[in-house]
Structure 1
Amino acid sequence: MAEWPGVDCAYAASHCCSSVVRTSSFPEPLQHEVSLPMPDQPSSRSLLADWFRGHAATLTTLDPHQPVDDLEPLREIVGSARVVAVGENAHFVEEFSRARQRVLRFLAEHCGFTVLALEFGFSEAFRLEPWLQGEGDDAGLAKVSAAAADWGAADLMHWLRHHHRTSGRPLRFAGIDVPEAGGQLRPALDPVADYLREVDPDALPLLDAALEISDRFLEGSGSGAAAAPAWARLDPAEQNALTAALARLLLRLRGAEPLYVRRSSQRRFDIARRRVEAACHTDYMFHAMDALLSGRGSGADLSVREIYMAESVRWHLDRAAPGTRDLRRSPRDAHGVPLLNRIRSQSSSLCAPIPEAFDAVLAVPTVTRDRTVRF
C-alpha cells in the first residue's frame, strides 16, 4: 500500500509548453563528475531537441482543480518508490505552486500516497494537523498557522482540508523543517515547556534560559536571514549561553529518556526531543547565516538545515505504519559529454548532472510571482 508523498519531480522555468520530461530512461548512472555548459554546436542542440521530443509529455493545464489524467506518465516514473520528492527552482512562483498541487493530487488520487511531508516547521505541523483534518471553520487557517496563510501555502492547505473531507484516502500532513524557517525558537520550545512541566519540571530552567535570551532578539523575525543580524548584535557571552542551554537541554532529554517515557509515552518523548533538536539546529543557523551575510561563511555550513529536514523525513518514515510510501541513459554529444547538465534556478543557471539529481523535470512557459505571499 502506498502512503508517502514528498514528490519525485523538480520544476524548471523554460519557454515551452508545460510538460513533464522524464530523465529516468537510463539503466546506468552517469560517470561524469564535472558539469559543462550547454554546447552551442547545432549537432548537440539538434540531438538534445530530438531527445526532449522523445521523452516529454505535454500537460493540458496547470489548473489544480481540473482532472489530472495528463500526469499519467508520472505513474511509471514513481513506480514502487516509498518517497517521492518534489522540488522547485524558485519559491513563491504561482505556476510552480499550481503544478505542484496537481502533482500532489495525482499521487494521492491515482498512486495511493497518503502522507504529505512539506518544508514546514516540524513542530508547527502538529498544531496545523487538526485543522487540516476538519476541526474549526474553513476561514480559520490564519488563526492556526499564520505562516501557512501568509507564505504561499494557503491554497494547498485548503485543498488538503477539502481532500480530507471528501476523499476516501485522506492525506496526513507532516512538517520536516526548523521552526519558522530558522527565525524563531518558541514554536519548537513552547510545546516542550508544556511537556517538561509534566515529566521533568527540574529541566525547565534550561529551557527558560534559552527563551529569555532568544526573546530579546527574535521578536518579529520571520526567517533565518532576518534573525541572523539580530543574533550578531548579542554579546558573545549571550550567544554562547544560548547554545549551552539548548545543548544541555537536549542532553538532559537523552539521558532521562526512560524516565520521560515512563511518565508520558515513547511518541510524546520522541516529538519533544525532535523539537529540541530543531531548536539546536536553528541556533547553529543563526551563526552560519550571519557568517554568510558578512562574507565569512564556511563551506556547507548552511547544510545543517537540510540535514535536519532529511532526518525529519526519516523520523516520520520510521514511525509510519508498515507499507508506508512517502526517478538512466541520457543524451550525450559526439564526445560523450552529457547534455542535460544545468538547470535554471532563481536568476542563474546551476550546473548539475540532471539525470542523477532528478527523475523528471516539469517545465512551465511563464513564471509569475505568487501575489498571496505577504512579504
Structure 2
Amino acid sequence: MIKKLIAACIFLFWNVPSFAQSTADSSIGNNAFVSWAHKHAYPLQASDKATDDKDLYPIKQMIGDARVVALGEPAHGFHEPLAFRNRLFKFLVQHCGFTTIAIEGDLAQSRLAADYIAGGRGTAKDAAAALSIGEPAAENIELLNWMRQYNADSAHTIKLRFYGMDIQMIGFPGGTTPNHAALDHVLTYLQNVDEGAARRANVELAFYLTQMSVAKYPALSLKDQNVLTIILENILALLERQRMVFINRSSKDAYQWAHRNAIAALQRDRMMRVIPPDQPGKIPPNAWKAMNARDAAMADNINWILHNGANGGKVLVFAHNAHVKNAPTTGGVWDAFAQPPNSAGEYLRSILGNNFFIIGSSIAPETTTLQANSLDKALLQVNRPRYILDLRAAAPSPEVAHWLSLNRPMQANKVSFFMLPVSTAFDALLFLDKDDGK
C-alpha cells in the first residue's frame, strides 16, 4: 500500500470520503471571500479558443521578477490544466524571459524530450511517452512540437529547455521489474568517456541493478544498502573529480546530464532507504520520510535546473498542487503519518524566497458533494468560468485575509482532499471550467 503513496502521485487517487473538519468560520467568511473574489478575479479565455494574450498580462504583473513560477494541477491527466500550462508557457517565453519548463516527470527519462526539442531524432509522441505512465498526453505532444519549432527558428538565439524534475518512478506496488533509468544513463556516459571506469561500475552494480524494483529494493539488507550507497557516491565523486577530462571527451551538456543523473540515482536511493515495510490495509506512520525525500529531491532538481540548465532564463514548474504548495501535507489519509510530509514548494520557498511564485489551481467539480468549507466550492461560487486571483490583494480586507489563512479542504484528483492554509500555500489561484471550451 505504501508504494502507492510514493510512485507517480498514485497516492492522491485514494478515496477519502471523510476528513477532519476545517477550522474555517461560518458561511459569513465564505461569503466575504466569494464577494471579494468576484470583484478581483481576472477572467481568462478558454485555452483552446483564445484569440490573443491580453487576458494573461495580469499574470505577468503578479509574478513580477520571480525566476521560478510553479503552476499546480489539481489532478493528473485532465485537459484543462495541461492546455492552460501550454498557453501560459508560450506567453512566459514570449513576454517574460522564460526559457525552461520542468514538469513532474522523471528527470532521466526527460532526456528524450530535451533532445527532441533541440532538433534530435525521434517523435514528440515517443518523447512524451517516456514522461508518463500509459498513453502520452496530447497536450505534452503539442508542447514538445511547439518548443522544437521555436528552437528551430534562427531568430531565437536563446533556445528553450525541457526537464523532468522528479526522481525515477519506482513502479507499482508488488512490481518486480527492475527500473534504473538514471543509472543506465550514467553507465552509458561512462562507457563513452572512460571504458575502464564503466567496466568497474557495471561489475560493482551487477547484483544491485537486479534489485531495483518496488518489491526487491526495500528488502535489501542494511549491509547491501550501505554498499550500494557507497558505489553510487563513488560514481558521483568520479564524475566530479574528472569533470574537465570528461567534458573534453564529450561535451558540457552531456556531462551535465550524466552528473545530474548520478545525483538522481542517489536521490532515489535515499528515498528507498526510508520506505517502511508494508502494513496491509494501513499507512505506516513513518512513510512521511519517503515523501519528504521525494519532494526534497524535486526541489533540489528545480534549483539545479534554474542555475545550470535554464540558459540564463526563468523556469516554469508544472506539477500537482500537492508538490508545489508552500505547506505541509495534512488531512484525510495523510493524517496517518507521524508528522506531516513537507512539499517541494516549501523547500523551494526556503531556497528562493520571493523568486518563487506559486499558482494553485482548481477545476469545476463534476459533482455537488463538496464540503461547504472547501476552497473548491468557494471558487465555484464566484460564478465565473475561468479566472485567476492574486491572493496577496486580499491583505487590505481583514475578513477575507482571515478566511484565506485558515486550514480548509482542497480537492486532490476529484476523490481525495488535503487541508491547507490557502494564502500560505499559494500566491495565486487559478479556476478552470471543466470543459475549458472544448
TM-score, structure 1 as length reference = 0.71
Deviation at 1:367, TM superposition (A): 8.0
CA deviation profile, 1:313-371 (whole Å, cap 9, x unmatched)? 22222235775222434454399564564333333443323223222111124389xxx
CA deviation profile, 1:279-334 (whole Å, cap 9, x unmatched)? 11112222334547662525443222222222222222223577522243445439
Distance 2:261 2:105 in 1: 13
- Of 69, 77, 98, which residue of structure 2 is paired with 1:92? 77
Distance 1:338 1:110 in 2: 31
CA deviation profile, 1:62-92 (whole Å, cap 9, x unmatched)? 4277544333321211222222111123222
The alignment partner of 1:84 has SS state of strand
Closer, same or farther in 2 for the Cα pair 1:287/1:93, shift >3 Å?
Answer: farther
Does residue 1:360 correspond to 2:428, yes or no? yes
8 A Cα contact 1:148 1:154, kept in partner: no
Distance 2:294 2:204 in 1: 20
Partner of 1:203: 197
Distance 1:355 1:92 in 2: 26
CA deviation profile, 1:213-246 (whole Å, cap 9, x unmatched)? 344245xxxxxxxx43332345555444433322
Does residue 1:127 correspond to 2:87, yes or no? no
8 A Cα contact 1:93 1:367, kept in partner: no
Output the amino acid matched with 2:302.
V
Does residue 1:148 correspond to 2:215, yes or no? no
Partner of 1:69: 54
The alignment partner of 1:72 has SS state of helix
CA deviation profile, 1:194-224 (whole Å, cap 9, x unmatched)? 3323443343355324653344245xxxxxx
Closer, same or farther in 2 for the Cα pair 1:228/1:290, shift >3 Å?
Answer: farther
Does residue 1:344 correspond to 2:330, yes or no? no
- Of 267, 271, 283, which residue of structure 1 is paired with 2:269? 283
Partner of 2:260: 274
Does residue 1:109 correspond to 2:176, yes or no? no
Distance 1:210 1:119 in 2: 31
Output the amino acid matched with 1:194.
T
Distance 2:146 2:247 in 1: 36
- 1:1-375 mapped onto 2 (5 Å cutoff): 37-40=23-26, 42-63=27-48, 67-136=52-121, 140-144=123-127, 146-148=129-131, 150=134, 152-165=136-149, 169=156, 171-179=160-168, 181-183=169-171, 186-205=180-199, 207-209=201-203, 211-218=205-212, 227-234=213-220, 237-257=223-243, 259-261=245-247, 263-264=249-250, 267-291=253-277, 295=284, 297-319=286-308, 324-326=313-315, 327=357, 328=392, 329-330=394-395, 331-333=397-399, 338=404, 341-342=407-408, 343-346=410-413, 347-366=415-434
TM-score, structure 2 as length reference = 0.62
8 A Cα contact 2:119 2:148, kept in partner: yes
Closer, same or farther in 2 for the Cα pair 1:121/1:70, shift >3 Å?
Answer: same
Output the amino acid matched with 1:213.
F
Distance 2:245 2:116 in 1: 32
CA deviation profile, 1:19-75 (whole Å, cap 9, x unmatched)? xxxxxxxxxxxxxxxx953222x4212211121112212223142775443333212
Output the amino acid matched with 1:304.
A
Return the structure number with greater relative CO, CA threshold 8 A, min gap 6. Answer: 1
Output the amino acid matched with 2:218.
A
Partner of 1:16: none
Distance 1:115 1:103 in 2: 12
CA deviation profile, 1:154-180 (whole Å, cap 9, x unmatched)? 42233331343257556321232223x
Output the amino acid matched with 2:206.
E
Closer, same or farther in 2 for the Cα pair 1:313/1:334, shift >3 Å?
Answer: closer
The alignment partner of 1:85 has SS state of strand
Q: Percent identity?
A: 27
8 A Cα contact 2:29 2:403, kept in partner: no
Distance 2:127 2:136 in 1: 15
Distance 1:319 1:334 in 2: 40
Partner of 1:223: none
Output the amino acid matched with 2:303.
R
Output the amino acid matched with 2:411.
R
Partner of 1:13: none
Deviates more, 1:290-299 or 1:302-311: 290-299
8 A Cα contact 2:167 2:267, kept in partner: yes
Output the amino acid matched with 1:160.
L
8 A Cα contact 1:133 1:161, kept in partner: no
Q: Which runs of 5+ in 2 are unaligned?
A: 1-20, 172-177, 316-356, 358-391
Deviates more, 1:234-243 or 1:296-305: 234-243
Deviation at 1:278, TM superposition (A): 0.5
Closer, same or farther in 2 for the Cα pair 1:211/1:363, shift >3 Å?
Answer: farther
Output the amino acid matched with 1:141.
A
Output the amino acid matched with 1:364.
L
8 A Cα contact 1:148 1:157, kept in partner: no
Could you say what the CA RMSD is over the residues aligned between the two structures, in angstroms?
A: 3.5
Output the amino acid matched with 1:311.
D
